[in-house]
A = this chain, B = another copy of it.
Amino acid sequence: MMRIIDSRPLLDAFLGALRPAAGRAAQVTGAPPVLAIVRAAENAGSAAYAARIRATAAQAGITCHEVPLDTRMDGTALCAQVAAVSATPGVNGMIVLLPLPAGTSVPQVMAQMDPDKDVDCQQPLNLGRVMAGTPLYLPCTATAAVMLAQGMLGDLAGVNCAVIGASASVGRPLALQLLDRGATVEIVHIRTRDIADHARRAQVIFAAAGHAGLVDGAWVSPGAVLVDIGINADPTGRPGVVGDINAAAVAQQAAAITAVPDGVGPMTTGILLANTVHAASRQAGVDFTYPDLTTLAAYQALRL
């Protein structure tokens, strides 16, 4: 029977472990850590993510500043706004939510942030630190996905992992973080020939293609662990979101699958907030270490 992994209890425990660190930074600066959220295009997905961040931040003792949505901005105006948010005293970290208005350059907009406030780990300097094995901030989605897999399996050393999707913000940092943990990693994508054959060889499949229900039963070998990173509009037009994995089609083979949207999503927010407390702590000269998951009962409960 395929187990469905909901990470909300883990997020609660993680935020509980993070809150004292947020308090220590606040004691020095006189105010809670501040995360600025920039959202520049109308989009149901980014609106939902912004709402989730706001709700979750309060639980960790973090204040959110949401920058008013102005969808008429062109690229130049948006760059100026992002630079202004980054330069605002008291803002410790920031996230620019995608999508951006059509015709704006994502790398150019991201480049306006002070790397020290780039808690969503989008800038080349912070990506490069991940690549070099010396991350400053943890890439949010990739780290959340690896944490859940590691929670389910205990140790990823020598485990065959397939990463479906090679994006700079998710697939690539995910592959590197898996290598850091000793996993064998295959990265497959839209140009891969016989992608199902590649996926079937994996003990863990990470689906980050952004394609609703892409992974079906023929892609999954018996006992595989599935981490679904996709957040897609439901192609049947129903409200709500669906993942990259067709959960019904894999239920007979897979050992476990992460829920959508309550699997990788909640912990992605948790890592973003932990990075924000890290930023606030560094800026205040206060020591910070990321919460140790292995001590949390909700993490131990993931183990298959």
Contacts and interface: CB of A to CB of B under 8 A. Distances in A.
Contacts of A192: 158, 184
A191 B186 contact: no
A287 to B, nearest CB: 20
Contacts of A176: 131, 172
Given A134-B107, A186-B185, A157 B127 contact: no
Identical copies of this chain, number: 2
A195 to B, nearest CB: 8
Contacts of A132: 107, 124, 127, 168
A188 interface: yes
A236 to B, nearest CB: 31
Contact of A191 (B123, B166, B175, B182): B182
Interface in A110-139: 123-134
A186 B189 contact: no
Interface in A169-211: 172-173, 175-176, 179, 182-189, 191-193, 198
Nearest to A115: B125
Interface in A188-243: 188-189, 191-193, 198
Contacts of A131: 124, 127-128, 130-131, 168, 172-173, 176
A198 B182 CA distance: 15
Contacts of A173: 131
Contacts of A179: 166, 172, 187, 189
